[in-house]
Amino acid sequence: MYVDSHAHLEMEQFNSDREQMIARAREGGIDVLFLGDSITENFATRGKDAWDRDIAPLGTVADFGISGDRTQFVLWRALNGELDGSGARVVVLMIGTNNLASATPENVARGVGAIVDAVRAKLPGATVILNALLPRGAPGDPVRAKTADVNARIARLADGVHVRWLDASAGFVGADGTIPAELMPDELHPSAAGYDVWASALRPVSALIRLDLPTLERPANATSAPVMAGSASTEPAAAAKRQSAANSRRPNSISSAVKSAAATAGRSNLSLAHDPFPKTGTHFSGSCARPSSSRRRL
């Protein structure tokens, strides 16, 4: 029997990463949890200076990025222990770029939406900072338009209360439309300078986190949370109105979160034996099966 040793090693690494993350989540006490693929995973290492300067001071921060992950893998992780017991009050999510080669923008967006619903169902008191996919490829590359399409779709997931939208993509593109090599040498993964760009875009959110997390010191000169795209208004009545609307939309269970993704595709009666994210290489069985070995580590 043929065994793909490279895929086997990838799955061993994936499972090892997951076990460590589940163990960390069970310890609890997490203020901010980063969830995503290699772009997230490399933030604390390749972007160490930016991480230490802008992210680490936010409190107890956990990086749950796994290289090569796609929406379906992150959904599976969220549903199978990586959020349980974490107590995370802010989840910074960036995921979907690895789906672009094999899924339509609609399906990528549905995958992101299912993850957002799963996070809200697992951590109903948490705020999700939903990040736009970063630009990739050269000007005119079809992946640019596909990325923009996904971003336009997932931006609508922001409700201004539980889900806040953050788009750092403009900082990665020059006036001529190219991605400077010093920011993304391979036009996909940020360099140390690229992580500075992301960290800078996160600074208004960082101020918001400091205000929202009681364990963190409130800035002495701050009187209200900064307004950002997709954020709640600082006017109390408007914020209360958005809060009420958001509560009415919050999924009541994990199963409703997953079913909502299927309903978008016209499958009102979802059997988890079906794949809610077609053409992405992973199928679900029972509750949500372990991802298959068809993973490209990016």
Q: Which of the residues are catalytic?
A: 38, 186, 189
Token reading at 51: 């991480």
DSSP summary character for residue 231? P
Residue 98, CA atoms < 13 Å, CB-side half-sphere: 24
- Backbone phi and psi for residue 209, each to the nearest 5 degrees, phi listed first: -60, -40
Token reading at 36: 């995503």
Please tell me the distance from the alpha carbon of residue 166 to that of residue 201, in angstroms, as a whole number: 8
Please tell me the distance from the alpha carbon of residue 277 to that of residue 281, in angstroms, as a whole number: 9
Query: Is 41:100 a contact under the CB 8 Å cutoff?
Result: no
Query: Is 31:55 a contact under the CB 8 Å cutoff?
Result: no
130: part of which helix (H) or strand (E)? strand 127-131
Query: Is 86:123 a contact under the CB 8 Å cutoff?
Result: yes
Can you count the helices (H) and strands (E) in the chain? 9, 5
- Backbone phi and psi for residue 12, each to the nearest 5 degrees, phi listed first: -60, -45
Helix (H, G, I), strand (E, B) or coil at 37: coil
| Closest C-alpha among 246, 261, 252, 227 to residue 159 | 246
